[in-house]
Amino acid sequence: MTRRFSLTVIAGARPNFMKVAPIIHAAHKVSAVDLRLVHTGQHYDDHMSAQFFRDLQIPHPDLHLEVGSGSHAVQTARVMTAFDKALDDHPTDVVLVVGDVNSTLGCALVAVKRGIQVAHVEAGLRSRDRRMPEEINRILTDQVSDYLFTTERDAADNLRAEGIPADKIHFVGNVMIDTLMKNRAIARERSTVLARLTLAPREYAACTLHRPSNVDTRADAERTLEAVRQLANRLKVVLPLHPRSTAKLQEFGLLDAFRARATVIEPLGYLDFLSLLDNARLVLTDSGGIQEETTVLGVPCLTFRENTERPITVTHGTNRVVGLDPARVGAAVEDIMTGGEFTPRIPELWDGHAAERIVEILASRQAP
């Protein structure tokens, strides 16, 4: 008989919330699990946090660490200090972290140094680009984890090549897609975003560009602006803008130039953003999660990066990695608009049940 065990789930930034929601809902159905939700506060305003909790029916966190923003070093250190104190007050058997943000690595390091088991959801994804802070977070988190839950089979090859024992690796599917499948019909019924922005389905492009490599210097931001202009030559562009990106564009005096080429709006809640993606003619992004979502939605996706840690979205989905040359964006947009073929396939186990598999494995592996 499986004993009861305590599971502490970590959520820190906007990409995490879509991933922890189905895990929390699945854990609540298993009597053996005592669940505790910790919000580190890496993303903390309404658009980046609270609205997602409401849309996804995530319960109020048991603890909010309120670490706020800062450099990667400062933010990770704050997460570690605050979470270490939280474990003094509330010991746990397993700490579950998702994705690749600073909270993921910070909480994993604190747990493993205390002898607490670590479960990493989305393990084994690799871009091969160590200039990306997320890549460092992924590699280090995987090295200290006891359970490595993968979204695609190739991720296991990456982990084994880095010396991870095979018995720690579990292919379970994609929790982001659990959330998408649960909420797609709800978004179609409830979201009014298209009406609010006077958009017609398939007559606009959705765009998200927020990574430091695309906005952190004036030269990078000007290159990104040109990519948006290439897109705007053919379609109306809707650009929900990350607060950090907004601040950078204001610093460089480029925010008005973006507004001249796109409908720049504040970040959207989950249901509105899902509706925006679902009805778009195409998407231009530098987000890994959006590459996955558009793969399942069947919406053409152009990734404005030199690489992707999610190659299955290219081999099976609608994603094209177009690099950082805006001219390549223009050429890809033209190809899509003139009938270039996208023939997406839903990747294996992207079926809406990944979270159930994760909770089942954790429950079965806890010693009686």
Domain-embedded: residue 14: yes
Domain-embedded: residue 179: no
Quote the pLDDT of residue 44: 52
| 104 and 226 belong to one structural domain | no
- Which residues are catalytic, by number? 210
Give me the helix-helix angle, 288-297 and 270-278, nearest 10°: 60
pLDDT in tens, 39-51: 998 655 555 567 8
Give dist(CA 51, CA 16) in Å, integer: 13
| 85 and 208 belong to one structural domain | no
Domain-embedded: residue 343: no
| 275 and 166 belong to one structural domain | no
Tell me the pLDDT of the chain averaged across its residues. Answer: 94
Ramachandran angles phi, psi of 153, nearest 5° = -65, -35
Give dist(CA 315, CA 368) in Å, integer: 42
Quote the pLDDT of residue 13: 82
| 318 and 355 belong to one structural domain | no
239: helix, strand or coil: strand
Residue 299 in tokens: 């919406």
CB atoms within 10 A of CB 341: 7
Give dist(CA 257, CA 222) in Å, integer: 10
| 124 and 196 belong to one structural domain | no
pLDDT in tens, 289-347: 999 999 999 999 999 999 999 999 999 999 999 999 999 999 999 999 998 666 789 99
| 30 and 97 belong to one structural domain | yes
Q: What mean pLDDT is predicted for residues 275-296? A: 97
Domain-embedded: residue 49: yes
Quote the pLDDT of residue 41: 84
| 18 and 160 belong to one structural domain | yes
Give dist(CA 126, CA 347) in Å, integer: 17
For residue 163, pLDDT over 60 is answered with yes
Give dist(CA 251, CA 239) in Å, integer: 18
| 152 and 222 belong to one structural domain | no
pLDDT in tens, 129-146: 999 999 999 999 999 999
Domain-embedded: residue 82: yes
Domain-embedded: residue 268: yes
| 28 and 151 belong to one structural domain | yes
Domain-embedded: residue 159: yes
Q: What mean pLDDT is predicted for residues 183-199? A: 98
| 210 and 330 belong to one structural domain | yes
The answer to whether 277 and 196 are in contact (CB under 8 A) is no
Quote the pLDDT of residue 66: 85
Q: How many domains does the chain have?
A: 2
| 152 and 239 belong to one structural domain | no
The CATH code of the domain that includes 71 is 3.40.50.2000
Residues spanned by the domain of 249? 189-337
Work out the percent of the chain whose per-residue pLDDT is above 70: 96
